Structure 1
């Protein structure tokens, strides 16, 4: 489970420290765990914070959000509620983040590593600042980008692809999760969940991660097997055609 200081929590959720304190003052966000003089927040706080922000964006007032949160917590301890939220907020990445320095990035991407491309990578969360260095949340994506640049694809186009790819994967993942929500986690409006249903909810959410990964990986593999020959087949045929030179002349 990750641990956050208040500024780290705000940055991870895309909000401000001031907003985090406002939500705490209104009893929407549980208090942090105290470790000496330090206030420590968890993944559960991050999930709750994102839920609050989502509900605010959808037009709910503070009082309405507080009423819903109170209804959700009714009949069970804060630890029970945070237990469910920790499952939802747990990092599902199979890879550990990688710390990279600016010289290392220059070595990887050469002259393609412009200030504009760095800003775009930060905006897309492909890189995060960590003091004078950077953190790549997904080293696999970073390595894939390096390979594409080494093949001759401009880094700006690689970043375009990464942005589009994330949007497409988010859409497909949302479809899968929506199916589970509709057919597996159906709860009547305003109905309170008992302890058994809370445990089942946590179990279903935990099982979604390998299910989503398996489905997306399998679909990507099938797509690559089909699309690569379709897109490159004509070029391969040209290369194999007798008497064809590199410039296409006979």
Structure 2
């Protein structure tokens, strides 16, 4: 992937820190828990600005650290790199102290209604009186609803979905069919969620943070700059109101669309028989 053009000021090489708090990539990795390999991969993908070069040595500042911590948190919460890049590109200049709150507002507990649950993969497959194949395990690992926590254990981010799967198993629906349906569900609901995040949540968030004065001292701390409490309150209040609207809109539309698709399928079958 090519580097992000220099005209985007968020990706220009960082200026030296006024308080001398610059660090090497190894030090940045130690502070954030992100591997050196991933830090460089994020730079290549255009998620982070390049370091300031001092000879052949790359030096990173607190702004790099804050952005990397945000990327790390969003990755841990299941966001894909392309979605994170879209969020970062929409961030107004000077609003990083407020936008660091995205990692809190989009935490795994903000939108979800159930606590995650750990379970062995083979125990999940036992509902079909079988053992999970390596391919089935791989499908669970990459769909975003099951976070691997061990060699044969996952953290289910939606225990309710597993309970639905168990009921489908009792109806003798094959495991692979359930996984196919689950993949389709995740694919389309992720597209809906991405649209809500980019077209509604981030746009309203930008309206709030964009009206705030930019911080003139980006190197005030080697960690995150304390955000304006008024901005924090406004953001939380806004998202508390939007959360049920976003989730409720999907619940409201799906039964209507399901009925329409069922009717179309029945009519199609009748035409074939006629």
TM more than 0.5: yes
Q: Is 2:145 aligned against 1:126?
A: yes
Q: Aligned equivalents of 1:151 and 1:207: distance in 2? A: 38
Q: CA offsets per residue over residues 20-68 of structure 1, 9 Å max, x none? A: 6677944323499xxxxxxxx8x8961399999559957x9xxxx9xx7
Residues 1:87 and 2:105 are matched in the alignment: yes
User: Aligned to 1:222, which of 256, 261, 264?
Assistant: 256
Tell me the CA shift for residue 111 of structure 1: 2.6
Gaps of 5+ in 1: 1-5, 11-15, 33-40, 236-250
Considering Cα pairs closer than 8 Å and 6+ residues apart, tell me whether 1 or 2 has the greater RCO: 2
User: 2:94 matched to 1:71?
Assistant: yes
Please tell me whether the aligned partners of residues 114 and 158 of structure 2 are also in contact (alpha carbons under 8 angstroms): yes
Matches within 5 A, 1:1-250: 17-18=35-36, 25-27=60-62, 28-30=64-66, 46-47=73-74, 71-73=94-96, 82-83=100-101, 85-91=103-109, 92-111=111-130, 113-131=132-150, 132-180=152-200, 184-185=204-205, 187=207, 191=210, 193=212, 195=228, 196=230, 199-228=233-262, 231=265
Q: Which moved more, 1:18-27 or 1:114-123?
A: 18-27
Secondary structure, in 3 states, of the residue corresponding to 1:99?
A: strand
TM-score by length of 1: 0.58
Count of residues in Structure 1 that have an aligned counterpart in Structure 2:
202
Q: Is the 8 A contact 1:176 1:212 kept in 2?
A: yes
Q: Secondary structure of 2:95's match?
A: helix
TM-score, normalised via structure 2 length: 0.54
- 1:182 is displaced (CA, Å) by 8.4
In the TM superposition, residue 178 of structure 1 has moved relative to its aligned partner by 4.3
The whole-number CA distance in structure 2 between the counterparts of 1:93 and 1:182 is: 19
In structure 1, how many angstroms separate the alpha carbons of the residues matched to 2:268 and 2:83?
Answer: 51
Q: Unpaired segments of 5 or more residues in structure 2?
A: 1-28, 41-47, 49-58, 214-227, 270-274
Query: How many angstroms does 1:214 deviate by?
Result: 1.0
CA–CA distance in 2 between the matches of 1:56 and 1:215? Answer: 24
Distance 1:57 1:84 in 2: 13
Offset at 1:225?
4.6
Deviation at 1:217, TM superposition (A): 1.2
Q: As a proportion of its length, which structure holds more helix? A: 1
Which residue of 2 is the match for residue 240 of structure 1?
Answer: none
Deviation at 1:227, TM superposition (A): 4.3
Cα separation, partners in 2 of 1:86 and 1:44, compared to 1, 3 Å = farther
